[in-house]
Amino acid sequence: MLHAMFMLVILTTVIMVLTARVRIGSVKSGEVPQNYYSLMQGHDIPDFVAKTTRNFNNLFEVPTLFYAGGAAYLALDQTGQLPVISAWVFVAARVLHSIIHLSYNNVLHRLVIFAIGNLSVLVMWLGIVNAAG
């Protein structure tokens, strides 16, 4: 479980660095005024700036349920494989979601992967709760 959680931290860090580079680049190129980033409003921004920002924000929404479940799994010293497998499915889904979102951005493909990830978190939690009795 800990390794799956760590991999999501790595993904979040990669997207954070990418987002920062895109934002800095948008200011340096003159596409976005620096003061836009103080409130994130008031100017039109390039699509890639919006996508990287939104993708980074996504990594702090449903993943909070994932991290909480992983922490519960570890704290309860569980050994069940269903939560671990579900955790890895979630991580894989988040990686795929980021790749799709930041590349060709097909909404239907993103939705399917997003749903698979969300269901895997639910299955993970069901496995944890079931094992905990």
| Count of structural domains within the chain | 1
What pLDDT, on a 0 to 100 scale, did the predictor assign at position 51?
Answer: 95
DSSP for 41-74? -SS---HHHHHHHHHHHHTTSTHHHHHHHHHHHH
Instruction: Report pTM.
Output: 0.93
What pLDDT, on a 0 to 100 scale, did the predictor assign at position 124?
Answer: 98
What pLDDT, on a 0 to 100 scale, did the predictor assign at position 40?
Answer: 86
What pLDDT, on a 0 to 100 scale, did the predictor assign at position 38?
Answer: 86
Range of the domain at 106: 2-132
CATH number of the domain bearing residue 103: 1.20.120.550
What pLDDT, on a 0 to 100 scale, did the predictor assign at position 35?
Answer: 87
What pLDDT, on a 0 to 100 scale, did the predictor assign at position 41?
Answer: 84
Taking only the tens place, the pLDDT of each residue in 53-87 is 999 999 999 999 999 999 999 999 999 999 999 99
Residue ranges of the chain with per-residue pLDDT less than 70: none
Q: Integer distance in angstroms from the first to the last C-alpha of the chain?
A: 19
